[in-house]
């Protein structure tokens, strides 16, 4: 978007758009730090919280201060880690559903029928399951918040290549992102960890689990 703004509009608009983009991403830094603390179950009252937050903030700052070549390599590395983790989660769920552990029955999607695929939220019954679905959709939007950014960046790179089109790149990227996240969500629902109290509790200490 920035290069297209400088190219087809004006330098003033390009600078304003760049500042707006930086400001929008800067707002996500506190969210990412809090998410890291909650995911690692480190969000506990005490003096060490400031130290833990400082360590995560220093890591984020350090990665952003890396040279461009090293930063791109690290970005590629962590993207690979994320992809391998998602594929491993899908394979693990498939193995557990197909009696991968000796001496256990073939469960398949048993937990989707007993007690059900969705937890209840705020109220019991079908209305509670619907509210739980709405809450899950609202929480999952953060996973797709950078989808337009990634699509635009890829489309800008493909703009100067022969045989590439912006529409084709956008379609491929959106299919990859949706397939990865949706399959991961389905894989997490197969073992039905949300039945366990420690995974479905209403947190009061700052930890809000994904199965809540």
Task: Give percent of the chain above pLDDT 70.
Answer: 72
- Residues 37-61 have a mean pLDDT of 73
Give the C-alpha separation, 121 to 116, whole Å.
13
Which comes out higher in pLDDT, residue 45 or 166? 166
pLDDT tier, 59 (very low <50, low <70, confident <90, very high otherwise): confident
pLDDT tier, 47 (very low <50, low <70, confident <90, very high otherwise): low
Which pLDDT does position 34 carry in this prediction? Answer: 79
- pTM of the full structure: 0.61
Residue 206 has pLDDT above 50, yes or no: no
Which comes out higher in pLDDT, residue 105 or 33? 33
The answer for residues whose C-beta is within 8 angstroms of residue 166's C-beta and 6 or more apart is 155, 158, 159
- Residues 38-56 have a mean pLDDT of 69
Q: Could you please report the per-residue DSSP string of 77-130?
A: HHHHHHHHHHHHHHHHHHHHHTT-STT----TTHHIIIIISS--BSBSSHHHHH
Predicted confidence (pLDDT) per residue in 120-158, tens digit: 788 888 888 888 888 878 877 776 777 777 777 777 666
Residue bearing tokens 């990634």:
150
């Amino acid at each position: 978007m920035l290069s297209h703004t400088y190219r087809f509009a004006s330098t003033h608009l390009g600078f304003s758009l760049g500042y707006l983009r930086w400001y929008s991403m800067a707002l996500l830094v506190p969210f990412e730090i809090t998410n890291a603390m909650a995911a690692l179950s480190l969000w506990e009252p005490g003096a060490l919280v400031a130290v833990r937050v400082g360590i995560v903030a220093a890591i984020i700052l350090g990665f952003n201060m890396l040279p461009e070549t090293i930063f791109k390599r690290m970005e590629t590395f962590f993207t690979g880690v994320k992809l391998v983790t998602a594929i491993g989660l899908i394979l693990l769920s498939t193995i557990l559903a197909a009696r991968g552990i000796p001496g256990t029955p073939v469960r398949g999607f048993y937990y989707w029928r007993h007690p059900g695929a969705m937890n209840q939220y705020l109220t019991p019954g079908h209305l509670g399951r619907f509210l739980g679905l709405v809450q899950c959709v609202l929480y999952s939007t953060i996973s797709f918040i950078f989808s337009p950014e990634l699509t635009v960046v890829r489309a800008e790179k493909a703009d100067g290549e022969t045989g590439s089109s912006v529409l084709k790149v956008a379609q491929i990227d959106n299919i990859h992102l949706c397939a990865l996240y949706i399959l991961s969500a389905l894989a997490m629902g197969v073992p039905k960890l949300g039945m366990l109290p420690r995974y479905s509790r209403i947190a009061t200490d700052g930890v809000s689990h994904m199965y809540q």
